[in-house]
């Protein structure tokens, strides 16, 4: 999340700085793929609920349909829009997968849609717990240096 904000703000400038002006056409696909990555990560988080509830087959089907959607869209869009068409295809697949997992949560997992973005309370609890609890001590067992017989 945080790195995506940094990439959204500075990625295009870094592309131009590192690779030069001839890479300016890469900025649009970069932005689309960044969005696809964020959405795809949300889909991956939701897919874990399906696997944890014993429904890994639904994850396989959803991912396969997402792949087929991406490939089909690439066959149509890439000849006309090149890398932007490919990036749109990947983004559409990520949106499909997130939507499919979200819509099936109540029916297949037995719960409502979880929050994908932490609340201020979540962050407070995380920081509070990290600051109050000392790190657990590592239990290290002594190792014998005698040769094995």
* pLDDT digit string, tens, across residues 39-67: 999 999 999 999 888 999 999 999 999 99
pLDDT at residue 107 in the model: 85
- How much is the mean pLDDT over the chain? 86
pLDDT at residue 136 in the model: 61
Q: Which two tokens stand for residue 124?
A: 């407070």
Split at pLDDT 50, 70, 90, the class of 119 is confident
Q: What is the mean pLDDT of residues 4-22?
A: 89
147 or 122, which is more confident: 122
Residue 75 has pLDDT above 80, yes or no: yes
Q: Tell which residue, 63, 106, 114, 68, has the closest CA to residue 89.
A: 68
Half-sphere exposure of 73 (CA within 13 A, CB side): 19
């Amino acid at each position: 999340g945080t790195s995506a904000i940094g990439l959204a703000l500075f990625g295009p400038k870094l592309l131009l700085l590192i690779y030069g002006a001839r890479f300016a056409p890469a900025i649009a696909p970069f932005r689309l793929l960044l969005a696809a990555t964020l959405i795809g990560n949300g889909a991956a988080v939701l897919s874990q609920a399906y696997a944890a509830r014993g429904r890994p087959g639904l994850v396989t089907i959803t991912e396969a349909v997402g792949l087929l959607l991406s490939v089909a869209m690439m066959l149509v869009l890439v000849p006309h829009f090149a890398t932007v068409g490919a990036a749109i295809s990947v983004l559409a697949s990520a949106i499909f997968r997130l939507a499919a997992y979200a819509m099936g949560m109540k029916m297949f997992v037995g719960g409502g849609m979880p929050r994908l973005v932490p609340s201020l309370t979540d962050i407070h609890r995380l920081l509070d717990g990290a600051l109050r609890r000392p790190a657990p001590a590592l239990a290290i067992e002594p190792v014998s240096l005698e040769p094995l017989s």
